[in-house]
Chain A
Amino acid sequence: MVNISADISHFLAGIILVTSFMLLYQARMFGLLKIFAIQAIVLSMAVAWQAYIQDAAHLYITAVIALVMKGIVIPMALFRIVRNLGIHQNIEDVVGVGMTMLAGVGLTILAIMVIFPVTTGEVGVIKEDLAFAFAIILLGLLIMVTRRNAVSQIIGFMSLENGLILAATGARGMPLVVEISVAFSVLIAFFVFGLFLFRIQERFDTIDVDNLNQYRGDRE
């Protein structure tokens, strides 16, 4: 096995992509949160593996941040929010599950077709990793677009973020400052989202974002 390190990183990135697909069709709230936690844990493993093969110590910090924040703190907090708000019923999908999955497959193919020709000169990990990361980003966007529930939109955003981190660590030379600031901005975004969830539920008795639309002032 000449290139076992690259294979392992591909394997981990592939698992993250699979979890993204799982997020895409998972209709239950708690299930969604659990899958997201799994994705974050696998992400931290992938980042740690990158740190090992690139011999870059600061990536371990990124891995720890990903594990603690996205793998434990955020899912737990969302878990509590969902339980407190009493919204553990099923999620309504806008498009049917089959169509969504097909779109997800299409996006993955698109990501590969975009990334591969651009990185023809590159060798080793970067090429496939970037394609995987890009697919994860697109799937995160797809989740945000297809779901109407605010919690699942947050999950979509966070999973998009995971894709970004995967892409960033795959490329060599990403400074630590950038990653830490990104991690913190995600955390702050999470606080804002959480706060808004409470306020929305409190005021409108629903967190279906489409229902909020009728309260907009500038409607004709």
Chain B
Amino acid sequence: MTALQVILTGLVLLLCLAAFSCVIRTGKAWVRLYYGLSAIISTGLLIGAVPALLFSSGHPQTMILPVGLSWVGTHFRLDALSAFFLIVVNLGGMMTSLYGIGYGVHAAQPRRILPFFAAFLCAMNLVVIADDAFTFLLSWEFMSLTSWMLVMSNHRDPETQKAGLTYFTMAAFGTLMLLFAFGILAGADGGYSFEAIRGHSLPAWGGAIILALALLGAGSKAGLFPLHIWLPLAHPAAPSHVSALMSGVMTKVAIYGFIRIVFDLVGNRIGWWGPVPILIIGAATALIGVLYALMQHDLKRLLAYHTVENIGIIFIGLGLALAFHINGLEAGAAVAMTAALLHIFNHSLFKSLLFLGSGSVLHATGERDIDHLGGLIHRMPYTAFFFLIGSVAISALPPFNGFVSEWLTFQAILASPELPQALLKFLVPAVGAVLALSAALAATCFVKAFGVTFLGRARTAQAGTARETDRFSLTAMAILAILCLLIGILPTVAVDGIGPAVHQLVSAGLPPQGDSHSALSLIPFSSEKSSYNGLIILGFLLLAGSMTAWFIHHFASRVIRRGPAWDCGTPPESAASQYTSGSFSQPIRRIFGGTVFHAREKVDMPAPGETRAAHFSVKMSDPAWAFIFTPLNNLLEKTTERLNFLQFLTIRRYLSLMFATLIILLIMVVVWR
């Protein structure tokens, strides 16, 4: 049995599981059994995909099933790139299923979730192994619809309804754009298998149009600015393990679509200007995503905006890879592509971890608003610890995995003077500066998220009486946290692992890892230029940290200090006097918020002698809505109002319209033959 057959068998099993969940009762034991089975199948798929990545050696496995469109069939293909994304999808599927064993039983109506969960996993797998345009788009839509059903699981909430509508519209828009892209790729004679598409000749304008369509289509699913608007609405609305899948995994499948189209199908038929829009949009997405995140006080929405930021970082990596690849600078292309793929993998790990952690907090307290939380580190120590690891990893701090991939991205940026085009030479360092800024802001944001949620005193009774989550959920988070650390300290293993996928895309790889001094050093270009050794960093951090702790405890703690009394010696009773998320992010809001979000602070201070309370409010407007989507909505509404009279024509008028259309089409046929 080939690996592809193993994968397809697993997918059939997932579909069976989805069907099975429609008939089972919704008792706790059944739900646990369901998630257990789903975890086992995902593990099987993961095990099937790993050798396909490591030992692919450039020979993809293909399979054609005689179903689907009669003249196309259903093509599947398992190459290194597909295998890499299969690992991302199924690792996420495995961990969220494991988490679901504990968390899924709390769902109010499990039947609204269970059938679609397995189908959603199956759909994401199908997208990455599809090898013709029809199968790809069908799986893509299947993925959109199943995830939409999961978002709508709590459909009576008006917020959820709004999220569902927005998501549905954006998903339809994205698929439409991809449909056009594949239409151009396939050409007039319609060879829809990817094999045929690679051999097609494109018209001169084809590369540009397809790049734009892929950015719109895959970008709307992945969450590129300004098409990200559905993400912060839809991801928090779903149950938390589904949020983890959507944010951590589905956005990656969208990026897979972009990579497959731009790097594989279009190949070398994009001009040197191709990376420019990718880099600009990526940088804008990264910066604006993290700024949005800083303004949030809803934990899951904050995480969703961070997904937007990380998608931006990944697209910066992809843009760099394309820039180097087009100019034949394969070493730089390999570094940038490795950075992008590694960041895809890393982000799927820590974003899943963070969403799972937020799910535990949500279940324990019933709150998503971090201004109603606080002090949870005492009530939920393990969750707090894992959430902290996820926060450190996403903030790109060593020795965790986020640092490795962002460091690699910066290495690629530092190689940009080799690029021959002046525009790129100037653009790439600017993008690097934006990237550095957003990385710092991300760290700020997670100091806020972790600090307000887990530190300090409990702000509400629910937060004060929260209980630690169950063992299954903790196990899932622990595994993800350990993986975050392992990739951080052993990056060479991960980089060697994704080597075949990088090689397939840019036909080059990183130099052999490890040098004479230390075997585990990550070397992007050459060991003289730069290298990173996670183990040494970890050792140094441990040593420095424990020495500092010892130093302080030994010399400082026992000495009695005298100083002015804090708060006159009587700290306020109310826990609301602590830092809130709004007060923590106020400096950032004052610096950036005024320009980006039109943030206006309003202080209503009572005059001396008045007894009413003072009020402080902040008004913000979302630039994506204010400048793009609200005008678009208005335009649509006006147009439909204008066209409304078409509802009330006579039958003869309708006939005349149809007749006129027919005649016009016929005339077009005659003229343009």
Contacts and interface: CB of A to CB of B under 8 A. Distances in A.
B669 interface: yes
Interface stretch (B143-151, B401-409, B621-629, B645-653): B645-653
A114 B669 contact: yes
A219 B652 contact: no
A213 B670 contact: no
A170 to B, nearest CB: 19
A110 B666 contact: yes
Contact of B659 (A117, A142, A213): A142
A209 B667 contact: no
B462 to A, nearest CB: 51
B648 A216 contact: yes
A145 B650 contact: no
A125 interface: no
Contacts, number: 38
A141 interface: yes
A200 interface: no
B656 interface: yes
A70 B644 CA distance: 40
A120 to B, nearest CB: 11
A10 interface: no
A220 interface: yes
A144 B651 CA distance: 10
A145 B648 contact: no
A217 B584 CA distance: 60
Contacts of B156: none
A145 B650 CA distance: 11
Interface in A96-141: 107, 110, 113-114, 117, 138, 141
A148 B663 contact: no
B673 interface: yes
Contacts of A55: none
Interface residues of A, number: 20
A102 to B, nearest CB: 14
A141 B658 CA distance: 10
A145 B662 CA distance: 13
Nearest to A109: B670
B652 A210 contact: yes
Interface in B633-647: 644, 647
A77 to B, nearest CB: 22
B648 A218 contact: yes
B651 A209 contact: yes
Interface residues of B, number: 16
B656 A107 contact: no
B12 interface: no
Contacts of B673: 117
A-side interface mostly: helix
A79 B651 CA distance: 24
A94 to B, nearest CB: 8
Contacts of A117: 670, 673
B259 to A, nearest CB: 42
A130 to B, nearest CB: 14
Nearest to A219: B648
Interface centre among B647, B666, B667 (most CB of A within 10 A): B666
Contacts of A153: 652
Contact of A213 (B650, B655, B663, B667): B650
Interface in A181-220: 209-210, 212-213, 216, 218-220
B655 A218 contact: no
Contacts of A220: 644, 648
Contacts of A148: 652
Contact of A145 (B647, B655, B667, B670): B655
Contacts of B652: 144-145, 148, 153, 209-210
B648 A113 contact: no
Given A110-B663, A213-B650, A145 B656 contact: yes
A145 B655 CA distance: 6
A69 B651 CA distance: 27
B647 A218 contact: yes
Given A148-B652, A210-B650, A210-B652, A110 B659 contact: no
Contacts of B670: 110, 113-114, 117
Interface of B: 644, 647-648, 650-652, 655-656, 659, 662-663, 666-667, 669-670, 673
Query: Which 3 A-B pairs rank lowest in CB-CB distance, beginning with the nearest?
Result: A113-B670, A213-B650, A145-B656
19 contacts: A110-B667, A110-B670, A114-B670, A117-B673, A142-B659, A144-B652, A144-B659, A145-B652, A145-B655, A145-B656, A148-B652, A209-B650, A209-B652, A210-B650, A212-B650, A213-B650, A216-B648, A219-B648, A220-B648
Given A144-B655, A213-B650, A219-B648, 9 more contacts: A110-B663, A110-B670, A113-B670, A114-B670, A145-B659, A209-B651, A210-B650, A212-B650, A218-B648
